Structure 1
Amino acid sequence: MYGLDDGGLLDYATRDLSTIRDAISMHCKQSATNKARFKSVIATSDPIKALEEFIETEQSVDFSSEWKEDHYSVKLSRKIERSDRTVSGSFALFRHGESDVWTALTGHGPDFFKRGIKWILRKGQPELSNFYVSSEDLESVLKDTEKRLSSRIFVNKAVVYSHKEEGNISWETRPYRFVFDQSKSSDRYVDKLTFEVRRNRELLFDSFVSRSGVVKFTGGDVNLFFNNLLRAYANTATEKVELFSEKARSRQTGEIKELEIQFNSNPLQDPDNNRDLIDALANLSKSSLTIYHNNPYAHISVLDLVDGSNCDVFVTSSDTISIIPGFRGSMNSLIRISDQIAREFQEGKVVEKYEQKFDSSDFVHADL
């Protein structure tokens, strides 16, 4: 079940997440090449309903789901377009507490994971939102895990990108902090890491983490993995929900909830930099741009064709980009746009801009 080589444990035992953890542990012990793969998404309502709505229009897909003790058990078979090939498998889909973060897990290989699970979760947009974490977020997840476990984390493989060039792959084993420090100094971002968590000479677990919602477990103590790394990663997604949800402009009052991307450097010092930003946004899939100004400041309107969301992107200083959602500004769209800027222009910190409010006491001296 779920592609886990567990000796039939899930076929006979109570099928809940606790048993699934045991099955993952058995699966990874069977072979050094076995992995458990996880893909997390954001869903503010039942994700299965969103997937079932998509399936109704797809004749090449067989899909079924059943609620178990604490997760959905999902079976999926998909015929690849322009091919006679079919990918089939199953996965568990579970929610992290009462949050809006859901994770699909499977022991099946990369083909079903990519062309089955990741494909169908992407088709659930905009009700299901992919989320992306920054290099800073990834570093915080590892820092939190290392601290909670009184351990040290060593990276065995790192994929680091510049914003305009191909990625650089390093196989050198080194502390994770070194990888992030080096990427910052060379104006690059960390995309994915393979690493091991150790306490003294004891291996706690091996894992993989990426900025695109994908995590893998390859060996060690599966409970430490779930309770620390996967939990910290899901908490990062919860922070994205709080930041990007309910930002559409109010149709009743016209209230605007502006987001800002703040940079530590000054990547927007001259009009050529505006052009770089426009080029990055132009590469956003399923979108359309309208450029109102690009010199001396930039004003770009982005229409997201996934769900019809729109926003305006402004550059008015050398270290800040403003994103102003329109009347339809979905969380899914804002996440896509901010990630596109991070990957192909520059990584920055996304924050909500709060308007400063004043009353008469701010303008009258207390002694008067």
Structure 2
Amino acid sequence: MLTVFERSLWDEAVGGRVLDLAHLLRRYASRDESRVQIVVETVFTDHLDPTALLSFSGVKELGRASAPNGTVVWLADKDGEWLIAALTSEHEGVFHLMGTVPRSDYRWRRVERWIVGAQGISRCFLNHEDFLELGDQLSSYGAVEVVTISSRMRDGSSLNRGFPARPDSRRPDHREGIAEIEDRGGSVRTLSLHVRDTLDLHVRRLAGATYNGGSYLVFRDLVLRRLEAAAGTRRELLSNRARISASEKLRPLTISLPASLLRDAEDTGDVLAVVGTQPNLTLAVFHRNPYLHFALTDEQDGSNFDVLVTREDAIDIFPGFRSSASSLARVSQLLSEAFGALEIREQPGSEPVSLYDLV
């Protein structure tokens, strides 16, 4: 059985009404049999409704309803019925995939696998600056406190910290929490925040957020807007990057790492290992030591890239003559997650590189 909140979401979609999370939470959350938790992952596509690209493998689709600003799909599996919705945003091609099953539930893990396996859907990688800006904006509503923070350290290990509320001490704010991780040479993966008297939420590196309670309006108007703005920026960064001619200036992307992680051939071998284990990606190594250069081809859509490591704290990706936004997002985020990147950015315009220079 659907919860009261899910049923109201379905009825709104069937009735052709705009899906307003804040309105639905305000009207129906207090009547639900359990506390409503909203799990959101923000993605971008080539203008297509992401629910049309997901496989929905392992579940039964009971129905589908279209609203002016999104699609709701009614699903069923061995543990019952549940919904997944795709809501449009103010940014072209950017959508919020949302549900009410906990993120730790195997059903949302299944949703994440559908997203990863779908061709044409890209997840948005948040830079540290995105976390900082979100915290800064939330601070206008109340003191922002870090409840938990998880990170990836320079040696590949994880660091998870929790800060219980205590009368004799205060929790760090978002800037203090992130600064501590950066000082240790790590990168933030998840951040649970308590905004005093306003909001409790969990934010994830791959543009996701969980509403755990508090102001519905702040979650909708600030948190979701911040995520979709980041996704819109990434979509613009990764789109239309394929080379047109051999004489044009190259426009590589740089993955900035938190420390000098790629110091020798053994370290750069980890880059090859990360990429080499991925399905539908093939590589050809041109140079191995002292710098790394390999060509990468995405067998799903033919996208091709040159990947170079010439600095200890960065990985450069040079798009080829075919480079889709979804493939470039997949490759850049794969490497960013593996090495705990601080950001993905565009290099300033580069002079053309000859085959001799690359090889």
CA contact (8 A) 2:255 2:336 kept: no
Q: Distance in 2 between matches of 1:304 and 1:263?
A: 24
2:158 alignment partner in structure 1: 167
Describe the superposition over 1:20-67 as per-residue Cα deviations: whole angstroms up to 9, x where unpaired: 423334565457753111122101222257427x57xx7965364322
- What SS is found at the alignment partner of 2:223? helix
Preserved CA contact (<8 Å) 1:248 1:257 = no
Correspondence 1:185 to 2:183:
yes
Match of 1:152 in 2: 143
Q: Which has the larger radius of gyration?
A: 1
Deviation at 1:156, TM superposition (A): 1.1
Q: Tell me if structure 2 keeps the 8 A contact 1:72–1:94.
A: yes
How do 1:153-302 and structure 2 match up within 5 A? 153-173=144-164, 174=171, 175-198=173-196, 203-250=197-244, 256-263=250-257, 265-302=259-296
Q: Which amino acid aligns with 2:25?
A: I
2 CA distance for matches of 1:89 and 1:49?
15
Matched residue SS, 2:75: strand
Deviates more, 1:87-96 or 1:209-218: 87-96
Equivalence for 2:74: 75
Q: 1:96 aligns with which of 86, 89, 99?
A: 89
Q: Give the residue type in structure 2 aligned to 1:351.
A: R
Distance 1:111-1:316 versus aligned 2 partners, 3 A rule: closer
Per-residue Cα deviation, 1:56-99 (whole angstroms, up to 9, x for no partner): xx796536432223221222346xxxxxx476422221111242
Structure 2 regions of 5+ residues with no counterpart? 165-170, 352-359
Alpha-carbon contact 2:128-2:342 (below 8 Å) kept: no
Question: Which residue identity does 1:309 align to in structure 2?
Answer: S
Letter in 2 for 1:114: R
Q: 2:123 aligns with which of 97, 119, 130?
A: 130
Give the alignment partner of residue 107 of structure 2, picking from 109, 112, 116.
112
TM-score, length basis structure 1:
0.79
Q: Secondary structure at the match of 1:249?
A: coil
Mean CA deviation greater in 331-340 or 213-222: 331-340
Cα pair 1:135 1:191 within 8 Å, conserved: no
In structure 2, what is the Cα distance between the partners aligned to 1:280 and 1:4? 41
Letter in 1 for 2:53: L
Where do residues 284-363 of structure 1 align in structure 2 (5 Å cutoff)?
A: 284-355=278-349
* Structure 1 runs not aligned, ≥5 long: 79-84, 358-368
1:245 deviation in Å?
Answer: 0.8
Question: Aligned residues: percent identity?
Answer: 21
* Mapped contact 1:291–1:300 kept (Cα < 8 A): yes
For this pair of structures, how many residues does the alignment match? Answer: 338
RMSD: 3.2
- Cα deviation for residue 309 of structure 1 reads 2.0
Q: Distance in 2 between matches of 1:7 and 1:301?
A: 47
